[in-house]
Amino acid sequence: PAAWGLHFDLTIPFARYVLENSSNLDFPFRRYQLQKAWRGERPQEGRYREFCQADIDVVGDSELPIHIDAEVVEVALAALRELSTQIGTPEALARVNNRRLAAGVFEGLGIADPAPVLRLTDKLAKIGSDQVLGLLVEEAGLSKDTAASVIEFAQISGPLDAVLPKLDALGVENESFLLGRQQLVDVVSRIAKRFPDSVIADMQIARGLDYYTGTIFELVLIGRESLGSISAGGRYDQLASDGKRTYPGVGISIGLSRILTPMIATGELTASRKVPTVVLVAVNDEESRDQSEHVASQLRDRGIACEVSPSAAKFGKQIKYAERRQIPYVWFVSPDGDEVKNLASREQSPANAATWTPSDAELRITNQKEQR
């Protein structure tokens, strides 16, 4: 086997970080991280070997309240709602389940080892109920009747008030089911208070990773369900442990590449300009470049993205350079008073680097399609 590998996700490396630094952390410890991850996937739409994702995790010391499960889903929904506002992505829907509840149902059906059953039911959306039914019989060793009951359970989905009667009708009363049911109610009802139209209970959500122990969830874009889940996660009570202390956690990842790449490919997401630079500071001559650099420094200190012209060419060429890069303003430094030129209106006016400010729209890149 290889001695080194590219990390599959960001959760397990994070668990190791918690163990190595637990004495220096204040619990519950919250973190978010944006980074690349890698998978040995067969490249296809929505699945990449290299991709960028955002991770949000909360870890406790020995215990972690159930309301944290709802909190991380709410953070993801809020982030995706803001993304929808900013660039026009569809709204998201959170689909929530509970591993303990599912394990309790499987126990009630006489299934000794729920792990392979969970992994197979996780494939329902991809390959359909008939194929999953066959796999439950062939690979998990279930009878056809038991496999059919598993499929029936996995197809329970909807708002809590519609789901709970169906769950109760199963007649399961073991400890795992009752605890999982209560946790599901707690989490979904909390999320629904803030996002009433953006969360459902869905027994089909299984999450194939074995380290999840309680709440599990997936988020999809409404109207773009064919993309699959664009955000997912759950509770992992046993992932980080040093043998003496356990650090339970809840985490969620948001697949930025899966969300944005299809929109770029179809032209739904087009940047309003090529670069984030708002101002190109022109250079009169190389001897006075320091003056242009000083102006750029003043503007950057005030949060205005700018760059200094790479050469002291004629002003006409420097302006054309800015136009090619879709930079909206060119700044001219002069001992008689600086001036700034708006390349859209062609207007040129006096300006002071300590006070001049472009419009809010010009300070950030937006989705050009939303502006049409």
Residues 28-71 pLDDT 10s: 999 999 989 888 877 777 778 888 999 999 999 999 999 999 99
pLDDT confidence of 227, banded at 50, 70, 90?
confident
Residues 312 and 221 in one domain: no
Query: Residue 3 has what pLDDT?
Result: 78
289, part of any domain: yes
Q: What Cα–Cα distance (Å) separates residue 308 from each residue in 150, 328, 351, 353?
A: 64, 14, 16, 14
273, part of any domain: no
Residues 245 and 293 in one domain: no
CA distance 22 to 61: 9
Q: What is the rounded average pLDDT of the residues 174-189?
A: 97
Query: Residue 372 has what pLDDT?
Result: 45
195, part of any domain: yes
Q: What is the rounded average pLDDT of the residues 275-286?
A: 96
Residues 133 and 262 in one domain: yes
Q: Which of 237, 266, 295 is the last residue of a domain?
A: 266
Q: What is the rounded average pLDDT of the residues 8-16?
A: 82
272, part of any domain: no
Name the phi and psi angles at 121, rounded to 5: -65, -20
Q: What is the rounded average pLDDT of the residues 183-191?
A: 98
Q: What is the rounded average pLDDT of the residues 176-185?
A: 97
**8 A C-beta contact, residue 269 and residue 87:** yes
3, part of any domain: no
Residues 92 and 141 in one domain: yes
Residue 133 in this model has a pLDDT that exceeds 90: yes
Q: Which of 266, 287, 306 is the last residue of a domain?
A: 266
CA distance 337 to 232: 55
Strand partners, 59: 29, 249
- Name the residue with higher pLDDT: 255 or 238: 255
State which residues form the domain around 261.
11-266
Residue 229 in this model has a pLDDT that exceeds 50: yes
Residues 22 and 130 in one domain: yes
Half-sphere exposure of 268 (CA within 13 A, CB side): 13
Strand partners, 280: 307, 330
200: its two tokens? 């459902």
Half-sphere exposure of 155 (CA within 13 A, CB side): 11
Which residue spans within the chain are E strands per DSSP?
29-38, 50-59, 92-98, 157-158, 199-202, 215-221, 231-236, 249-255, 279-281, 306-308, 329-332, 339-342, 348-350
2, part of any domain: no
182, part of any domain: yes
CA distance 299 to 356: 8
Residues 54 and 155 in one domain: yes
Other Cβ atoms less than 10 A from the Cβ of 323: the count is 13
1, part of any domain: no
Other Cβ atoms less than 10 A from the Cβ of 7: the count is 12
CA distance 239 to 250: 10
283: its two tokens? 């250079």
pLDDT in tens, 345-372: 999 999 999 999 998 888 877 766 655 4
The answer, yes or no, to whether the previous bond of 328 is cis (omega within 30 of 0) is: no
Q: Which of 235, 266, 297 is the last residue of a domain?
A: 266
Average pLDDT, the chain: 91
Q: What's the CATH code of the domain at 85? A: 3.30.930.10
Helix, strand, coil percentages in the chain from 3-state DSSP, rounded to 5: 40, 20, 40
Residues 60 and 188 in one domain: yes
Residues 79 and 140 in one domain: yes
Query: Residue 208 has what pLDDT?
Result: 65
Residues 249 and 129 in one domain: yes
Q: How many domains does the chain have?
A: 2
pLDDT in tens, 62-89: 999 999 999 999 999 999 999 998 888 9
Residues 221 and 125 in one domain: yes
Classify residue 283 as exposed, middle or buried by CB count within 10 Å of its CB (0-12, 13-18, 19+).
buried
Own/partner contacts of 262-268, CB < 8 Å, gap of 24 or more, are 262/45, 262/46, 262/224, 262/227, 263/87, 263/89, 267/369, 268/88, 268/367, 268/369
Residues 104 and 176 in one domain: yes
Residues 210 and 283 in one domain: no
pLDDT confidence of 168, banded at 50, 70, 90?
very high
Q: What's the CATH code of the domain at 359? A: 3.40.50.800
Q: How many residues does the chain have?
A: 372
